[in-house]
Amino acid sequence: MTDYMKLGDTYLLHTYNRFPIVLERGEGIRLYDDKGREYLDSAAGIAVYALGYGNREFNDALKNQIDKVMHTSNLYYNEPACLAAKDVCEVSKMDRVFFTNSGTEAIEGAIKTARKYAFLKDGRTDHNIIAMEHSFHGRSMGALSVTGNAHYREAFEPGIGNVRFASFNDLESVESLMDDMTCAVIMETVQGEGGIYPSRDEFIKGVRKLCDERDILLILDEIQCGMGRTGYMFAWEKYGVKPDIVTIAKALGNGVPVGAFAMTERVAGNSLVPGDHGTTYGGNPFACAAVSEVLRQFREKDIVSHVRKLTPVLEKTLDEIKDRYGIIKERRGAGFMQALELEGSCAPVIEKARENGLLIISAGANTLRIVPPLVMEEDDIAELGRRLDKALKEA
């Protein structure tokens, strides 16, 4: 373990403060380090491994595609991309999709789409975008520009420009920033890195109404909260609204790097054309085979219903823990995307949890984030509760 960590510290760019373990393999909702120690995983690779580790059907689908072809470029059609496109459009209720390599790239594509849509209306290039304070959309320049945490942006300014930040769940704040040059509102349906804050019903419906009245595009970032995590395939479905553009990633590939931005036909027919956007690896046969297999298992195993069924069990477990410890201010979230906000730093709890065989991550300095694989069962939730309780006692 020490040798691998030394190698990493020597040769990897130091942009992460890594925990001192070397993970080697996974099975179900558990990970094992190179010494064979077992960890119950409540992070799922940051909400990625929805179907769990070592999923035999998923692995076989990837191996099968490897034996055919992994990459061909987007100069040609390939079978997995066409099938995956149909699958994503059907499940997202959208009409067109563009495959990317990550969620950040999906955000970049969504921003470009919105600006091109506005440009074709009036020929101007000075349209503005309204984003949300405390939001997180990624680390590339466009995604960073609409990320509502000044600390992330300050060393890399200026960004793409013409971005205004409203208060999340404050409709008046959004409306006050709108003008004739607003081309899009971008927001997470459930804020993730900002502390796990779901949209309020009246807020997201109000934003949708404002956008409809002014022909402003609504971009919903479902990279973390989508793909069944909240007990709905996409979190916006709970509210009875529909975005003009939706960004998807993380669980879409169950560990394979893949993302997507999808849109309605109205937006697709009035925005990007050949030459406006592209990617070398996005939509390659290997990644798209992963997408189709993920969505097949979601359908056949009814993953969304499973999450909805077990959400009360997870919430009850976390509520009981909250009631036992005065340092826990609040439990909030939706589905298998939960948070425990502490009075102080959550770092000591995360450390003690790791020592007790529980991997847990933060969403801000004082908030524990619980985003386990969606295949977690009731017994697993009970074990998560026991290990977290022990970590809190020790911390």
Predicted confidence at residue 97, as pLDDT, reads: 98
Share of the chain above pLDDT 70, in %: 100
Q: Which of 136, 133, 151 is nearest to 47 (CA)?
A: 136
Average pLDDT over residues 43-69: 97
**138 backbone dihedrals φ, ψ, rounded to 5°:** 140, 180
116-154 tens-digit pLDDT: 999 999 999 999 999 999 999 999 999 999 999 999 999
Residues 83 and 42 in one domain: no
Residues 255 and 365 in one domain: no
Q: Which range of residues forms the domain containing residue 64?
A: 58-301
Q: Is the pLDDT of residue 1 over 70?
A: no
Most confident of 6-10, 156-160, 376-380: 376-380
DSSP sequence for 23-51 = EEEEEBTEEEETT--EEEESSHHHHT-TT
Residues 67 and 48 in one domain: no
160 falls in which pLDDT band (50, 70, 90)? very high
Average pLDDT over residues 321-346: 96
CATH code: domain of residue 235: 3.40.640.10
Residues 29 and 64 in one domain: no
- DSSP letter at 302 equals T
Both structure tokens of 216: 């402003």
- Answer whether 94's CB lies under 8 Å from 323's CB: no
The last residue of a domain, from among 249, 269, 301: 301
Residues 16 and 64 in one domain: no
Average pLDDT over residues 77-92: 98
Residues 297 and 317 in one domain: no
Residues 336 and 296 in one domain: no
Integer CA distances (angstroms), 302 to 153, 288, 298, in order: 40, 21, 5
Average pLDDT over residues 211-222: 98
257-274 tens-digit pLDDT: 999 999 999 999 999 999
Q: How many helices (H) and strands (E) does the chain have?
A: 14, 17
Residues 314 and 362 in one domain: yes
The last residue of a domain, from among 278, 301, 324: 301
Instruction: Sheet with 128-132: list strands edge to edge.
Output: 96-100, 259-263, 245-248, 217-221, 182-188, 128-132, 163-166
2 falls in which pLDDT band (50, 70, 90)? confident
Q: Into how many domains does the chain fold?
A: 2
Average pLDDT over residues 303-319: 98
Residues 241 and 342 in one domain: no
Tell me how crowded residue 115 is: count the other CB atoms within 10 A of its CB. Answer: 21
Q: Quick one: 29 exposed, middle or buried, by C-beta within 10 A (0-12, 13-18, 19+)?
A: buried
Residues 11 and 123 in one domain: no
Integer CA distances (angstroms), 152 to 12, 30, 161, 275, in order: 21, 32, 15, 31
Integer CA distances (angstroms), 169 to 51, 191, 197, 202, 243, in order: 31, 10, 9, 8, 17
Residues 73 and 116 in one domain: yes
Our CA angle for 308, 375, 188, nearest 5°, is 60
Predicted confidence at residue 392, as pLDDT, reads: 97
Predicted confidence at residue 381, as pLDDT, reads: 98
Predicted confidence at residue 37, as pLDDT, reads: 96
Element (H, E) at 332: strand 328-334
Average pLDDT over residues 45-50: 97
Q: Is the pLDDT of residue 96 over 90?
A: yes
Average pLDDT over residues 321-329: 95
Residues 103 and 217 in one domain: yes
The last residue of a domain, from among 301, 335, 366: 301
Cβ-Cβ contacts under 8 Å for 132 (sequence gap 6 or more): 148, 165, 166, 167, 168, 186, 187, 188, 191
Average pLDDT over residues 76-88: 98
- Answer whether 205's CB lies under 8 Å from 189's CB: no
CATH code: domain of residue 338: 3.90.1150.10
Predicted confidence at residue 315, as pLDDT, reads: 98
